[in-house]
Amino acid sequence: MISTLEKEITFRYLKTRKKDGFLNIISIFSFIGISLGVAVLIIVMSVMNGFRTELINKIVGFNPHITIKPYENSISADKLKNKELKKISEELLYSNSGEAIIISQDFTKGIVLRGYSQKDFSKLNVVNKGRFSGNSKKLYKNNISIGKELSFDLELKIGDKLSIISPSGIETIIGNLPKQEVFTVSSIFESGLADFDRNIAFININTLDNFFDFNKDDRNLEIYLKNPSDIVVAKNKVKEVFKDEFIYTWADMNSSLFSALKVERNVMFIILSLIILVAAFNIISGLTILVKNKTRDIAILKSIGVLNKSITKIFFLVGVTIGTTATIFGILLGVLFSLYIENIRQFLSYTFNISLFPEEIYFLSKMPTEINLVSILIISVCSILITIIVSIYPAIKASKLDPVKGLKYE
């Protein structure tokens, strides 16, 4: 417990005095350093969480949540009637894919072709939820839907024609020749991810099977979930139904990307935590100077019977109060900036006439933020814990002062 005397002396030492000018400067710098460290950590973590969520939404919006690939035999239609499968799935679509070379004028590029029926193509998120130009129902025999980035690279628009070469050749009298077909651009999509928009195109699944000499039994089953974030549980349920097929999810396909994001986030947390650590060490300097300045006061307190434990508490509370108050202020500042970071970005862009976070580079119309209460709690606990640790040494040092020598100190 903290006594009334301990509280009063602690409050008195925290009050600003003109004669303690240098001490006050150190205390102010400690407060500002910890506050800014906590605020910047919260802002950076919120922006990185926002980026991760936006990236997941775009990947999930473009890719199937779960893909089932048959090993030998085609996927049994009876398995699609499973009750558990119906509970978790929103859509079940058949697809296939293959790699080809696209040729337009003097431009040649490798591309992944994904095949869907006309009906299934119109159900894709990139068609009905993304930016889409053209008619999704016109995925006819020799029609193709390309991404916005690819249309820029090839200088194509809806109605233009392009050639695609298949790796599967045609036997002729002069040998094996590559299969080549001409396609008409029927639509242009924009997923928000440049890699997808530049490297993937859609054609009719029957055309794709003929073009690559695929068997219909080789077609994949794509599962779109009602709750895409619950991917682990859903995958386990799907495994129980499709025991003889190969199963992978959007998370499996992008595991290296999210691992890199996680490492980057952790590294940023460690680096920015050093700001708080450096600021917290200023508290040691401040408390050491305070102990030096209050040597006579400590001696008087000891001579009237104040215990060493109480002296320790007083100086410990001074350090912890500075650190805790700075942490709370930093949390408020960080959360406030995170909530209005898009408005701040727009204001700075307009005021200084500079492009901050350009959409053509980041493919996001606004700066994403996601305030995570767990992250804020971890940052707060770490900041206060550092403050507690650095306040212990000066507080113990104060309690060990000799009162006789202290009374002689001027």
Instruction: Report the pLDDT value the prediction gives residue 405, as an integer from 0 to 100.
Output: 60
How many CA atoms lie less than 13 Å away from 351 in the CB half-sphere?
6
In this structure, what token pair is assigned to residue 134? 């053209």
Prediction pTM value: 0.71
Domain extents for the chain? 4-56+257-408, 72-243
Instruction: Report the pLDDT value the prediction gives residue 332, as an integer from 0 to 100.
Output: 94
What span, in angstroms and rounded, lies between the C-alpha atoms of 222 and 183? 25
CA 40 to chain centroid: 16
On whether the CB atoms of residues 63 and 112 are closer than 8 A, the answer is no
From first to last of its 410 residues, what are the pLDDT tens digits of the chain? 677 766 776 777 666 555 555 456 767 777 888 888 889 888 888 888 888 888 777 777 778 888 888 877 777 777 877 787 888 888 888 889 888 988 877 788 889 999 998 888 888 878 877 678 877 667 888 899 998 888 888 888 888 888 898 877 666 566 566 788 889 999 898 887 778 888 899 999 999 988 888 888 888 888 888 887 778 888 888 888 888 888 888 888 877 877 877 787 788 778 777 877 777 777 777 777 777 776 777 777 777 777 778 878 877 888 888 888 889 999 999 999 988 888 888 887 778 777 776 665 565 667 788 888 888 898 889 888 888 888 888 788 777 776 656 555 55
| Residue 30: burial class (beta carbons within 10 Å; 0-12, 13-18, 19+) | buried
Instruction: Report the pLDDT value the prediction gives residue 49, as an integer from 0 to 100.
Output: 85
On whether the CB atoms of residues 178 and 220 are closer than 8 A, the answer is no
Q: How far are the Cα atoms of 90, 134, 287, 322, 409 from residue 297, in angstroms, in the given order?
A: 74, 82, 14, 21, 10
Helix count (H) and strand count (E) of the chain?
A: 17, 10
